[in-house]
Amino acid sequence: MIVKKDKEEIENYFRDASNFFGSADAVYFPVNAEEIAEVIRDANRNKFHVTVSGARTGLTGGAAPEGGVILSLEKMNKIIQIDRDEKFTIVQPGVFLRDLQNEVERSGLFYPPDPTERDSFLGGNAATNASGAKTFKYGPTRNFVEETKVVLPDGETATLKRGNYTAQNTVLTFPTDSGKEVQIKIPEVYIPRSTKNAAGYYLRKGMDAIDLFIGAEGTLGVITEIKLKLINPPEKILSAVIFFNNTENTLDFIEHARNESYKTRKSKGKNGLDARGLEFFDNGALKFLYESYPAIPTDAKAAVWFEAELNSENEDLITDKWFDTIETFHGDVERSWFAIDKKDREKFKDFRHAVSANVADYISSKGLRKVGTDTAVEDKFFKEYYYYSVKLAQSSGINFIVYGHAGNSHLHLNFLPKDKAEFEQAKLLYKDLCARAVKFNGTVSAEHGIGKIKREYFLMMYGEEAVRKMAKIKKTLDKNLILNTGNIFEERFLRD
């Protein structure tokens, strides 16, 4: 196995896209699960930390090491199989999402989870239960993971196939590949009513063992192979960026489109509105894009990017319905952008990605860390939460922008502090926004996870007792606290 120790050579592995920095003594580049297990067994014997590194596009410091060694999974980058008939793919964890999406498309199938950052790894996506614009219709990565192989924190391996090991009420039992039995007590904890949640472990009575590892941010095991469900692609897709000259109308349009989409899905109707993604951009987010996208109307107050799946039978009917809806809510039909072909659709995707990327660049240029919410609330509180957040941010005088996955009532309010003082002030407001999201039956993290920089908000969301119960699961599987320790839990919850 390749091992690198030269500081200059490995420094890049000390941080992720959140700009949270750690340090480590070495980076290991395993090529298979056995090599990973070897490192982990060594870490248990010699008591050093192991941090798993994917593509390091994470936004919470999850892949930033706290001493010890880094396991970079970049050499485990093979798409092992794409089965067109049975509609699945098997991948190693270091495959880029972008590469998988392209390969799957070439094979005539479709993998719906689409976190905005396509230069992330599938292993990272599974470890964070990543989601994206299409999560509004298809759910997060979790919904597509059928089987995983994991190296557990004691060096044992396990193969978890969905449906094979489900909890008997609150007791979850599964075997390792060597036949050892692992037993976990599932605690009862707060379950948000938002349609997304990436904060802490997935815990439900009767749950599937596979779900414990998806979204666990590498704290319970290293994901070494993933089998993902694929589906047939839609025949046609309508994609549009609609500009509005009034925020109220924009939010009403979103609420209407969301409710209609739910109705259509519930009734299994084929001719109703059914957005697969509903993304919001406020005026500040649009301004951020003026330079690269001069066709944005400069008087637009907000915009919505939506996509809907069509077929040759309902194409005209559905397109008309969308136009009627846009007109009802006073969208600027004349100057909005519509795409049917793939090339234009990709441009809209890049448009969405450019906002997140530009924010990251801006923050890096100031040498600061991002202060941006990843909160989601119960749908019925979406507008109230939006106005609360904007009012609070405006009253601070700090520049900010809002954009994100409005279909899931999940927006990113990103402060753009100009200096350290504003950065500190923004952090206080951020805390307030997290608390308010929880009050609105939501979550402090809908998709990025907790990592090392959101532990305080995680604690606020669940409370000490529940966090202790979750930490007990970590301690059951990782007695020596070797693997990705530092993510999700503050040390005090693991030590006592």
Question: Contact between 90 and ligand FAD (CB under 6 A)?
Answer: no
Question: Contact between 54 and ligand FAD (CB under 6 A)?
Answer: yes
Q: Which of 127, 209, 368, 481 binds ligand FAD (CB under 6 A)?
A: 127
Sheet with strand 157-161: strands edge to edge? 79-83, 88-91, 222-229, 145-151, 157-161
Q: Which of 22, 33, 39, 57 binds ligand FAD (CB under 6 A)?
A: 57
Question: Contact between 130 and ligand FAD (CB under 6 A)?
Answer: yes
Segment interacting with ligand FAD (CB under 6 A) among 5-13, 124-132, 186-194, 323-331 = 124-132
What does DSSP say about strands 181-185 and 145-151: parallel, antiparallel, or unpaired?
unpaired
For ligand FAD, the closer CB: 120 or 195:
120
144-163 binders of ligand FAD (CB under 6 A): none
For ligand FAD, the closer CB: 123 or 200:
123
Segment interacting with ligand FAD (CB under 6 A) among 98-106, 111-119, 155-163, 262-270 = 111-119
Minimum CB–partner distance for residue 24 and ligand FAD (Å): 12
Q: What angle do CA 99, 102, 105 make, to 5 degrees?
A: 145
Segment interacting with ligand FAD (CB under 6 A) among 109-117, 184-192, 302-310, 467-475 = 109-117
The site map against ligand FAD for 345-384 (x = CB under 6 A) is -----------xx--x------------------------
Segment interacting with ligand FAD (CB under 6 A) among 39-47, 49-57, 381-389, 424-432 = 49-57
Q: What is the largest CA-CA distance in the chain?
A: 67
Question: Contact between 44 and ligand FAD (CB under 6 A)?
Answer: no
Sign of the dihedral through C-alpha 64, 70, 74, 80? negative
Minimum CB–partner distance for residue 154 and ligand FAD (Å): 15
CA distances to 75, 295, 340 from 314, rounded to whole Å, are: 45, 30, 14
CA distances to 199, 367, 380, 461, 488 from 192, rounded to whole Å, are: 10, 34, 13, 9, 17
Minimum CB–partner distance for residue 310 and ligand FAD (Å): 24
Q: Which of 89, 131, 375, 389 binds ligand FAD (CB under 6 A)?
A: 131
Q: Which of 218, 272, 277, 417 binds ligand FAD (CB under 6 A)?
A: 218
Q: Which residues bind ligand FAD (CB under 6 A)?
A: 16-17, 51-59, 62-63, 73, 93, 115-117, 120-121, 123-125, 127-128, 130-132, 217-218, 222-223, 356-357, 360, 447-448, 451, 484, 487
